Amino acid sequence: MNRDSKDLIGAHLSQSLAALERATQDAALLAAARKTAEIIIAALRAGNKLLIIGNGGSAADAQHIAAEIVGRYKQDRPAYAAIALTTDTSALTSIANDYGFEQMFARQVDGLGQRGDVLLALSTSGRSPNILAALRVARERGLITVGFTGTKGKTLGALCDHLLVAPSDDTPVIQQIHLAVAHGICDEIEQTLMRGAAKK
């Protein structure tokens, strides 16, 4: 590599590290993360479920989070109810074809969501029409709505009961913070529910 060329990989890692360090000092983010864990724990204990949505990289994160909850995060334990609404290609394509791309998550929330469920919406921009449409339907159906976004997506908060804002406006870095926070939330969910089961 030419000495004058920029080390893009190193620069990205430095940027990510700086954002994660900001996140560890962000009282509002930490409070939102703890509240999100508390809400999901309460919903799962009550027999409700977690629904997760996102586009692109956030769709992959939605699947990742659901897998940690249904499968396991770190410990063998009972399965918990979580569904990524990003994975059913037949539903996604038929809804997008028949009702439009904007309705691809809203229609699934309408069909699968029940009062007391939690909808976790991942949107780095906070402006994705299909995310906003799903949040509106979730509120109409009595779901608890949680949004994860970046510094430019705070308007998403108008449709969310709780909002977590990653301290970055760079999409890949926002997604990394979202997943790091989600892993912490999965750990909290797993340990809390296992402690509760052990006491019975």
Residue 98's pLDDT band (cuts 50, 70, 90):
very high
| CATH number of the structural domain spanning residue 112 | 3.40.50.10490
pTM of the model: 0.94
Judge whether 137 lies within some domain. yes
pLDDT at 5: 61
- Which residues make up each annotated binding site for Zn(2+)? 64, 68, 175, 183
pLDDT (mean) for 7-35: 96
Judge whether 100 lies within some domain. yes
Judge whether 7 lies within some domain. no
pLDDT > 70? residue 4 = no
Q: Which amino acid is it at 165?
A: V
**Residue 167 in contact with residue 19, Cβ under 8 Å?**
yes
Judge whether 12 lies within some domain. no
pLDDT, tens digit, 9 for 90 and up, residues 34-91: 999 999 999 999 999 999 999 999 999 999 999 999 999 999 999 999 999 999 999 9
Judge whether 61 lies within some domain. yes
**200: DSSP letter:** -
pLDDT at 103: 98
Q: Which amino acid is it at 163?
A: L
Neighbouring CB atoms inside 10 A of 98's CB total 9
Structurally, the chain folds into a number of domains equal to 1
**126: DSSP letter:** S
Judge whether 185 lies within some domain. yes
- Which residues make up each annotated binding site for substrate? 55-57, 68, 97-98, 123-125, 128, 175
Cα–Cα distance for residue pair 176/107, rounded to 1 Å: 28
Containing structural domain, residue 127: 28-199
**Residue 150 in contact with residue 175, Cβ under 8 Å?**
no
- Which residues make up each annotated binding site? 55-57, 64, 68, 97-98, 123-125, 128, 175, 183
- Residue 10: HSE in the Cβ half-sphere, 13 Å Cα cutoff: 3
